[in-house]
Each structure stands twice: as structure tokens, then as C-alpha cells.
A and B are shown apart, each in its own frame.
Chain A
């Protein structure tokens, strides 16, 4: 059974930092890209960042470039999102998803971890 378990969400003041983790099981983690997607309260989905299987290719949406860093540890089947200089508009439920391959794309999602940026 495929499982993605996010953790690390919390209440943090503006300008603060947080590191999210996503622990994966049920598929060969080192073979797949991984992605973070967020959803602000009552709003739609927003793609945030992606990392290739070997970490050779990394992508960010414009609004988080220079503030967020995605990384992964294939020995721990875990992907991370380091978030710095947090703003109120970063408040959202952050989902980790399995990335794209020839036969699938974002097919498995975690339940999300809530990040609240507020003083």
C-alpha cells in the first residue's frame, strides 16, 4: 500500500522558518520525482515545487523562489521542503505527491500538513 505521510506543519510568525517532511512507503521512492502542492484555506490547489528522482532537476513556482528549498534523502524515502522568510500568504495545507513518470503523474497524495503564518 502506498503511503505518503507529511509532517512539520505548525504556527509560525511572519519571517519565520519551517521544514516539512514527507515520508514515503509502498513504491520505489528513488525512482520517482516528488512534488509539493499547497492549498490555502478555502482556495484551490497551487503547485509549489518538484524534485527529480536523483535531485538533478529542481523546480519552484515563482512566489517561493529564493525562500523555499526542496530536497530529498533516498536512503530515508523522504522528501523535504525547507521554508524560510515565511509570509501570511504561505498559509496553507501542504501536500506531498508522487511525481510524474511515463505511466502516472501525481497519482498518490498524502493527507497534508498545515502551515499557518501569523503573529
Chain B
């Protein structure tokens, strides 16, 4: 079974920049994995932020961006706001298999 790995936790200061990554146990993540990123706050359903590596939705704040970085999918938040404190999940498609990462708890401090 494919394992998708994210940093368990990251801390960033308000106004700072942070990059979350998403790695696959099967090797380098490519655009063919159609990486997705989601934000989840306590007691809420996940909210989609990024699809197909770098595509944003109309509701995705401009400070969020997706990319491929060093064989991993990456989510960068530039100019972090206090409201960005949340759990972030990546998702990778591998053929008929879809796997979420374990999530990154982002603390804004």
C-alpha cells in the first residue's frame, strides 16, 4: 500500500512563509499524481485549496500556492495569517488508488 508522508507539524510566525511537502513511498511525485491540498480546521469539513499540483479555486487565498519541489508536491503559504492555523492534507492519485497524506498541523505563533 502506498504511503504518503507529510511533516507532522510546522510552526510559522505571522507574515512569514512556510512550505509543506507531500512525498510518496513509490518515488518522486509528478504532475501525473494530480496532487491536491486541503485545509481542515477543528470541527469543520475539509476545504479544497489546490488541485492538479497548482490550480487554485475561486475561494483559495492568493497567498496559497502549489508546486512540485524536489520530487515532492508542495504547498507554500506566503504571508501567513493567524487564520491559516489548521491541519493540511495532501492527496495523491496513483492509478485507481487515491491516498491522503497523514496531515501537517500548521501552528501560527
A: residues with CB less than 8 A from B are 35, 37, 44-47, 50, 57, 59, 61-62, 95, 100, 103-112
Give the chain A neighbours of B51 by CB distance below 8 A. Answer: 100, 104-107
Residues 8-52 of B at the A interface (beta carbon under 8 Å): 34, 36, 38, 40, 45-48, 51-52
Q: Is the interface of A mostly helix, strand, loop or mixed?
A: loop
Question: Which residues of chain A are near B34, meaning CB under 8 Å?
Answer: 100, 105
* SS class, residues of chain B in contact with chain A: strand
Whether A106 contacts B38 in the complex (CB less than 8 A), given A44-B89, A45-B89, comes out as yes
- Residues of B within 8 Å of A45, CB to CB, are 38, 40, 46, 89, 91, 100, 103
Closest CB of chain B to A40's CB: distance in Å?
12
Whether a CB of chain A sits under 8 angstroms from the CB of B62 is no
Which chain B residue shows the least CB distance to A35?
B98
On whether A44 and B45 interact (CB within 8 A), knowing A105-B52, A107-B51, the answer reads no
Add 19 more A-B contacts to A47-B91, A47-B99 (CB < 8 A).
Answer: A35-B98, A37-B46, A37-B100, A44-B101, A45-B46, A45-B89, A47-B98, A57-B96, A59-B97, A59-B98, A100-B51, A100-B93, A104-B51, A105-B52, A106-B36, A107-B51, A109-B45, A110-B45, A112-B45
